Amino acid sequence: MATVDYRSLAGDILQGVGGEKNIASAAHCATRLRLKLRDDSQADQAAIEKLPGVITVMKAGGQFQVVIGDNVPTVYAELGKITKLTGDDAGNDEPVQHGNLFNRFIDLISSIFSPVIWPLAAAGLLKAFLSMATQFGWLDPASQTNVILAATADALFYFLPIFLAVTAAKRFKTNQFTSMAIAGALVYPSIVALAAQPEPVNFAGIPMVMMNYTSSVLPIIVAVWLQGYAERFLTRVLPSAIRNFTTPLLTLLVMVPLVLLTVGPVTTFAAQGLSAGINAAFTFAPWLAGAVMGGFWQVFVLFGLHWGLVPGMLNEIATQGYSLLLGPLLAAVLGQAAATLAVMFRTRNKARRTVAGPAALSGFLAGITEPAIYGVNLPLKKPFYFGIAGGVVGGAIAAAGGSGASAFVFPSLLGLPAFSQVGNFALQLLGTGIAVAIAFGLTFFFGPREEAASDAGTSVPDTAADTQGAAAPAGPVAVSTGTLVVLAPVAGPAVALADVQDKVFASGAMGKGLGIIPADGRIYAPISGSIKAAMKTGHAFGIKSEDGVEVLVHIGIDTVQLQGRGFESAVSRGQQVRAGDLLAVVDLDVVREAGYDTTTLVMVTNTAQLGSVDPVTGGTFAQGDTAITVTA
């Protein structure tokens, strides 16, 4: 078979459908380029069907569908290089945003943090070891060695907005270098100095309320989100002759002052109000103030509101020698660390476990919770909530005993001596211990138990589904040399391929295979191999065996239209799976209620390159039964 030039193919398809102006939108599923055309009459269907690499063309669901097969993500990506129809990360595994607004917000934050979780975990662990080394006198805090090592450990946290600018730029499809420039301005030394000075600050005569943006999260994410709108607007209105340099120029000129003028005041005023409320609560109901601080400190950090409380803590220490505001934070921090530790013991996902271990250690020893929060607890949601629950109870108990800190330290086991001199230390220990017990216990017994996944790559599946059922049977992989057994990915009655209600699949153009009407919503890998395609909607997966056999599992007919609703993927692209590993969990009732056929297809997509492909005909499968026999 001749090699297909996918860049040329993308251009030929574009020309065949009448050009970019005739395409209202472009997307792709596991096998098809799905185009919504403004005028169908401009498309030359016959010419496109003759293009090398195109299997067939069909019109369905108001879409012009170009069937390409497993290489459709490549064609889609090439289409994105010559048009403005797609994003830079075409065909990636970015999760679909659905559910309530808070869950969507958590998913957004988690996905933006995902690429930096491993460095965060490493830096947090290094900070924990350095803190321990200086605490026990192994390393002189004033030594140049400590200065260098501390900079190594602190840099990622201090300049966190710059790192998040890169991942947010990918998420919101903006110019990442412009995003980094915006973040760099927020943490620029002179801007940090302006936030620290007592004198009023103004920009072009406009009063400006400054805040410290180092280590912040939300300001840069909001900035990059707005940057996307600015760039798209400027790209449309600016002449092409000056667009390349004028777009970033105007974006920077607008975005940096805009963020400083808006995010700073909003965050500062909210933080000041929060600080005043909590300080007032300490005078008439210390337990209530402790519950708020212990439970929601990590939420305050997430929104940058903690900066309004830190000056109060420092002022308390300077004027009276201790801070009551710091007292409940030991329960808050160690509660989240305990939830992370429970995830390490509970999860079957080795990649998640390897993040949770060092993240919990850095939380307990050094009070560094970013790796735990953003790499484990927040993506899984329940551990984050359970950590909050522990912090509420533990913080209330600690504050009721008048606990505080005699020095400004990171709340941690190594910082425990600073909490021993103020108030009832026994109640501080009791409250913190209860916080740890609640967070660990609730997470261990009721938290999500992720299915085992491949160790390949550094990504961690971002699912909150509680998949704690029994593990799927491994099943056979190969029965003899040159022969591969493809297993039924789900139990249910068999459907002959010719009877499937999709003419492309039914025609055999995508290869030989069969359909199964699923009896339940747990879909398993039919062969061992590498995940070559994992649709972000969770409805289709492509697996390639070590012998080169390519198998497609397509859950339902035209279910890409559900945009991930009812689907939870358990694997991601690039992972290695064994036959019988969980691929996805689908709510079949959601699919049926939306009017879609649940028939799940299992097909050998490179049938033409193989000796024989023999699907089992008729009958009802149990999951793991032989569905197709392939001979090379």
Phi, psi of 226 (to 5 degrees): -70, -35
DSSP 393-423: HHHHHHHHTT--BSS---SSSTTGGGGSSSS
Question: Of 28, 29, 306, 539, which residue is the catalytic one?
Answer: 29
Say if residue 36 is exposed, middle or buried (CB neighbours under 10 Å; 0-12, 13-18, 19+).
middle
Closest to 328 measured CA to CA, from 414, 407, 432 = 432
> Cα separations (Å) of 594 from 61, 559, 560, 562, 589?
14, 9, 12, 8, 8
Sign of dihedral through CA atoms 503, 507, 513, 515?
Answer: positive
Q: What is the distance between the alpha carbons of residues 365 and 337, in angstroms, rounded to a whole number?
A: 10
339 closest CA partner among 445, 454, 416:
445
DSSP state of 480: B
**Catalytic position from the list 28, 306, 539, 554:** 554
- Token code pair at residue 532: 């070559």
| Cα 371 to Cα 117: distance, rounded to the nearest angstrom | 6
* Residues with Cβ within 8 Å of residue 229, at least 6 apart in sequence: none
Least Cα distance to 522 among 454, 592, 581 occurs for 581
Quote the distance between the C-alpha of residue 107 and its chain's center: 6
Are 538 and 570 spatial neighbours (Cβ–Cβ below 8 Å)? no
The Cα angle at residue 113 between residues 111 and 117, in degrees rounded to 5? 120
Active site residue 554: yes
Catalytic residues: 29, 554
